[in-house]
Amino acid sequence: MVKKEIATSMVHKVPADLKEIFISNPDVLEKWNSLTPLARNEWICWITIFRKQETRKDHINRLRVDLLNGKRRPCCWPGCPHR
């Protein structure tokens, strides 16, 4: 099995639970790696800003679905405060 590299973002590190999604789904990984570093940063921030684990899981699942549907940025939030 060939290990594929997971692209990083500008500020945030890719969290372990998100890495698991990429490792288990090559199509999502391909879409992720095609994003700009700024877009990846926004997705990671959009996932990690929540305290409740259930909300975080919902956002990880939504990221997976949205990427597969061609979306390149998270929707309906003010943006990453770290950029």
- Indicate whether 77 belongs to any domain: no
Q: Name the domain count of the chain.
A: 1
- pLDDT at residue 2 greater than cutoff 80: no
**Residue 14 CB coordination number (10 Å):** 18
- Indicate whether 83 belongs to any domain: no
* Distance in angstroms (rounded) separating the CA atoms of residues 11 and 68: 24
Find the domain containing 60 and state its range.
16-68
Q: What is the pTM of this model?
A: 0.87
Q: Give ∠ CA 79-56-9 in degrees, rounded to 5.
A: 50
- Indicate whether 35 belongs to any domain: yes
- pLDDT at residue 83 greater than cutoff 70: no
Write the DSSP symbol of residue 5.
P
Q: What percent of the chain has pLDDT over 70?
A: 94
- Indicate whether 21 belongs to any domain: yes
- Indicate whether 44 belongs to any domain: yes
